Every structure is written in C-alpha cells, then in structure tokens.
Amino acid sequence: MSLLFQEGAVVLFQGDSITDCGRDRRSGDHLGWGYAMMAASWFSALYPERRVTFLNRGVSGDRTKDLVARWEEDCIALKPDWVSILIGINDTWRRYDSGDPTPLEEFERNYRRLLTEVKERLGAGLILCEPFLLPVPEDRKAWREDLDPKIQVVRSLAREFGAYYVPFDGIFAQAAARTSPEYWAPDGVHPSLAGHALMARAWLRTVGVPV
C-alpha cells in the first residue's frame, strides 16, 4: 500500500480528549501528546520532503454535537485534504457522570453531518477511528450499553462514506487479553502512552507508513 498523503497535504485530526491530549489551544498547530501527535511526528521525521501539515482540533470533553458546533471553524475553514475523526466516548460518558446522554439518532445525525460537509464542501479523504473502552475500573463495563451502538454507527458511516477504518476497540481487546487492560488504558478510556503508541502504529499503517 502506498502513502496516502501527497506532498503539501493538510491532515486534520478531530476528536475529544484522546485526540486533544493537552494541546495548546492558543497555537493552531499544536498537536497534544497523544496518538495524533505521535503519528504526525513519526510521519514528519520519516518524510520531511512531503511537507505534510498535521492539525489537531481535538477538544477534551467534546461530543459529536460539539464537533458539529465548531465544524465550520475547526474543520471546513482549515481546508484539510484528509480528515481523521475519533469521537464518541464522551457522548457515552456524559450519560453516566452527568445524566446527559446523546441519543443514538442524534449521535448518528451529528456524525453524518460532519462527514457530509467534509465530502460535499471539501472533497477530502476520510479516516474513521473506532471509539474504544477497556473495562477498568469496573464501572466502565456499564457504559458499553451506550457505547456499543455508537461504534456500530461509526462502522456504518465508514461504509457509507467509503472511509478508511481503524478498528481500535478490537485492537485494544486483543492486546489486553494476555497483558492487562490497565497497561493499555489505566482508566479504560484514556490510553496509556503504550496505548497511544499502539494507536499511532495502527493509524500509520492505515495510511500506508510501514511501521
């Protein structure tokens, strides 16, 4: 498989805290410290001559509706050539810690709107990342009732929009089976550094980097 990103391409990471990872909002090109940054950094060190620009507009705590609200500014206006999205775990989490759920229809409506605008207004390529969860601490197990249907929605949209798909939830489950979930994501939601590196490698392979 050849490299997806051509010379001068702009690649946008969108998502929540897992993508955000403490990025500095005052800086338009700060990438945080997570998988997005790791993947972008590795790519940039290996292919300096491609001069690919990576942007991160992940916002901690964001849900799909937040992406919708800031899509004009945080996606369309940036004119990316590729958009990578990892969103959904907070649509789930808020239901459990704040009693503020995102109904599945709304989740799908939000997510589809994001993709539709990317396709219709930008014609950009899409990389959809599977939301994931590991069962630590114990209460995370209850969240599956809300998360699992949302994973299905993302898969469904990936097929509908012909997106590349990164099946993070299964990758984490397989890695955790013979090690432990805490090793990969201590709170079940936010990957450890090993977890972010695991994600970065899967993401890089999806876009054609031989790592």
Q: Which two tokens stand for residue 129?
A: 């990342």
Instruction: Tell me the closest approach of the beta carbon of residue 72 to its own copies, in angstroms.
Output: 27
41 binds its own copies (CB under 8 A): yes
Q: Which two tokens stand for residue 180?
A: 């432990």
- What's at 41, amino acid-wise? S
Backbone angles phi, psi at 200, to 5 degrees: -60, -40
25 binds its own copies (CB under 8 A): no
Burial of 56 (0-12, 13-18, 19+ CB in 10 A): buried
158 binds its own copies (CB under 8 A): yes
From the list 174, 187, 205, 208, which residue makes contact with its own copies (rule: CB under 8 A)?
174
Kindly indicate which of the ranges 3-11, 61-69, 71-79, 192-200 contains the residues binding its own copies, using the contact rule CB under 8 A. 192-200
7 binds its own copies (CB under 8 A): no
Closest CA to 89 of 79, 81, 97: 97
Nearest residue (CB) to its own copies, 76 versus 101: 101
10-15: strand order across its sheet = 53-56, 10-15, 82-86, 125-129, 164-166
Of the listed 16, 17, 74, 91, which one is catalytic? 17
- What's at 85, amino acid-wise? I
Check if 44 is active-site: no
Subset of residues 118 to 157 that bind its own copies, contact rule: CB under 8 A: 128, 130, 135, 141, 144-145, 148-149, 151-152, 155-156
Size of the site for its own copies (CB under 8 A): 58
Task: Describe the crossing of helices 168-178 and 193-206 by its angle, rounded to 10 degrees.
Answer: 130
Of the listed 97, 100, 139, 187, which one is catalytic? 187
**Any residues with CB less than 8 A from the CB of 105 and at least 6 apart, and which?**
none
- The span from the CA of 29 to the CA of 25, in Å, is 9
Check if 81 is active-site: no
Pair type for strands 125-129 and 82-86: parallel
From the list 180, 187, 205, 208, which residue makes contact with its own copies (rule: CB under 8 A)?
180
Catalytic residues: 17, 187, 190
Query: Which positions touch its own copies (CB under 8 A)?
Result: 21-22, 31-33, 37-38, 40-42, 44-46, 48-49, 128, 130, 135, 141, 144-145, 148-149, 151-152, 155-156, 158-159, 162-167, 169-171, 173-181, 183, 192-198, 200-201, 211
